[in-house]
Amino acid sequence: MNADLLNLPMTRRASTLRFEGRILYLLDDAEQMRAQLEKGARLDLSDELRAKLRDQISTDEITPAYICYFHDETLGDFPYLGLRATNRVTGEAESPVTRRSVRNGGFVCSVAGKRRGKGSSREQSPYAELMAGIQVVVGESIERIYNENCQNLGILTTTDFDLIRRIESGEEIRLAEFTEGTDEITRQIIEFGGLFEFNVARLQGQVTVPTPASLAEQQPTGRPMTLGEKIFASHWVVDAAEDDVGVPAVAPGEAGFFRTDIRFSHEYVTPMSAIFFEQKVGQDAKVVDPDSVLFFRDHLTFLSKVMSQERIEEGLLEVANELEAKQRDFAEKQGIRLYGELMGQQLGSEAICHSKILEEYAEPGMLVIGTDSHTPHAGAIGCVAFGVGTTAIFNSWITKDVRASVPVSFKVVIDGTPAANVTAKDYMLEILRHPYIREGHAIGQIIEYAGPAVEALSVDERATMTNMAAEVGAFTGIIDADDKTVDFLVNERGMDRARAVGLIDGMQSDPGAEYVKVIELDASQVRPMVALPGDPGNGVLIDELESPVRIDIAYAGSCTAGKKEDMDMYARVFSEANERSGLTVHPDVDCFIQCGSVEVREYCRERGYLDLFERVGASFIEPGCGACIAAGPGITRVEEEVSVSSQNRNFPGRSGPGQLYLVSPYSVVASALAGHVTKWEPGVEIEPLSPRKLATV
């Protein structure tokens, strides 16, 4: 620990606050948005206006991926640049926010509807708002990671719309009105103005860290617990100075600090965290236990292949490359393992972070944090893995712990036997359209998957479900450790079987554990699904599409669908169609297959999949996250283009300006062969649409 931290002066915020500035309503009305931004219009919060508030605003809309190449106060030029709003005359979606329009508008508060800040864990989003002058964000409901990132940076958050008028009028407001209903730690973080300031005060002994009720003997230590609660209990930091970790039991709502087993970040986040670390802790300060920290260069490896000439001329490629250099320099300085770019002429990464964490590092019972919303991927083998922001990861480099409030859990039980063409992805698209999720009730909860159909899944398929807890808006996703977990650890990791069996001991939820909701699905009734463009929750049966949806691009890959079993599925459909009918990728379609790690690539090579993919006309590309963040092959280039993908989310602009449909690994390959969004059925021939492109000589 840097001794200078113990001498930093720490003060709390004033008990009452007064704000000077305007209110920005984020509306589904392009003209009213422009009126606020360009004409200085002040709107009144009527019922009519509230009905126009944009719901489901993702962090991709707050700060599109290319904006995140910046990692300083320049971000204040860009908040809401990706926000889509309807032109009430034409009915078309438009982007009414321009560079600096929020910063120049004198706004102090912005207001949105349900599920504000869903999607990516990027802290650049609230940081951009803060640098543009936004001090308060309001939403009917606010996503967990985004909300925590705001608190960690010192932005006030609230779902109380009655405060809006008082903010605008400059009325004094008690700080307690922003902390009401929060846990003790969150309250103090808000009062100190951020997580770092609170943590310094914590190290100085100026704050009170609560004790679990079980330690105070206010609850029986034998209460049945979910698996998530068990892991939180075993990682509770009782006394950081004495390295005292673990309590008999915890209950939902109890807040504390938890000892991490693994902390990881990628090049989108590491540089900003490193700058915070060096500015606030010191240039020569050392990360605590660097052996349990991992860095990844996986998001922007392919950026140079897809960035427009206009953006390159604006200097954005150079800015993006600075992220890689800063992460590499910090890794070398700190002695941290960096999974970087492939050597030689071939573009690509050694691994996508989530793929590598599950392949090599995570174990049942661990607590894992990463600077990406899809960190729950590792929950497939019975560990608590969740996404955090820039400030949280940089604070974990100082303390090795992370703050959290033990979430409530809800369970999805899947019974029955699925059809041969139904996958974990289809289960998830079915779950995501459930009203409990669509209406935001699952925000910040742990989703636990159970039932015979889940138990029948491989670890790879289970990872698809825990990974997409991010799309649910959940805190994390988790599945009990079992015999398949043991087999995975033995066969994929080479672990001694006795050790693997010991690791899963007790890593299951107790009978009688409490859940706030149980959703039951019958796997035999699930059919191949497709999420319509705009949101992963827009799921319908592929058979319900009214007419063929022609496609230009088929992308098969990402952390969600770049695993070994995903490659098996791609190969099965390609092989069957090619051997039976001589089918190859439709002439109208560009098809990309991207694996999650070099280990998966070698798996494909050993099984002859690489030759198969080449034979049918699919382009195999090395590991990377590019297509999911508009930074690699597989993205659309214009609004008229249509893509189908096995990735995890399809928020506006997520994978280019075109229309993105989400499907399973089986369906994405069937669609690539057919030239339109379709499903695969074993033994049924795929009938391609007539080509619309002229053949080239």
Highest mean pLDDT among 67-81, 212-226, 233-247, 515-529: 515-529
Q: How confident is the model at residue 673 (pLDDT cuts 50, 70, 90)?
A: very high
Residues 693, 658: Cα–Cα separation, whole Å: 18
Does the structure show a pLDDT above 70 at 697?
no
543-565: average pLDDT = 96
3-state helix, strand, coil in the chain (%, to 5): 40, 15, 45
* Domains with residue ranges and CATH for the chain: 19-171 (3.20.19), 529-674 (3.30.499.10)
616-643: average pLDDT = 92
Residues 654, 67: Cα–Cα separation, whole Å: 13
For position 4, what pLDDT does the model report? 67
Closest CA to 304 of 285, 282, 319, 326: 319
pLDDT in tens, 34-43: 999 999 999 9
Residues 537, 530: Cα–Cα separation, whole Å: 10
Does the structure show a pLDDT above 70 at 220?
no
What DSSP string runs through 404-428? Answer: EEPPPEEEEEEES---TT--HHHHH
Does the structure show a pLDDT above 90 at 214?
no
Classified as helix, coil or strand, 430 is: helix
For position 218, what pLDDT does the model report? 47
In this structure, the number of other CB atoms found within 10 A of the CB of residue 289 comes to 11
Q: Strand order of the sheet with strand 642-645?
A: 539-541, 529-531, 659-662, 642-645, 553-556, 590-594, 619-621
For position 506, what pLDDT does the model report? 97
Closest CA to 407 of 516, 244, 510, 506: 516
pLDDT in tens, 483-495: 999 999 999 999 9
Q: Which residues, at least 6 apart from 345, have a Cβ–Cβ distance to it below 8 Å?
A: none
First-last CA distance in the chain: 67
| Mean pLDDT of the residues in the chain | 93
In angstroms, the Cα distances linking 341 to 88, 331, 352, 632 are: 46, 14, 11, 14
Higher pLDDT, 240 or 541: 541
Does the structure show a pLDDT above 90 at 628?
no
Q: How far is CA 396 from the centre of its chain?
A: 19
pLDDT in tens, 251-276: 999 999 999 999 999 998 999 999 99
* Ramachandran assignment for 557, one of left (phi > 0), alpha (psi -120 to 50 degrees), beta (any other): left
pTM for the model: 0.88
For position 543, what pLDDT does the model report? 96
Does the structure show a pLDDT above 90 at 307?
no
Closest CA to 566 of 448, 495, 452, 663: 663
pLDDT in tens, 465-482: 999 999 999 999 999 999
Residues 339, 352: Cα–Cα separation, whole Å: 9
For position 696, what pLDDT does the model report? 46
Beta bridge partners of residue 158, listed in sequence order: 138
In angstroms, the Cα distances linking 290 to 261, 284, 295 are: 11, 14, 10
Does the structure show a pLDDT above 50 at 80?
yes
Task: List, in sequence order, every beta strand (DSSP E) within 579-676.
Answer: 590-594, 619-621, 642-645, 659-662
Does the structure show a pLDDT above 90 at 70?
no
Does the structure show a pLDDT above 90 at 654?
no
pLDDT above 70 as % of the chain: 97
375-390: average pLDDT = 96
Classified as helix, coil or strand, 572 is: helix
Q: Answer whether 404's CB lies under 8 Å from 196's CB.
A: no
Residues 82, 60: Cα–Cα separation, whole Å: 7
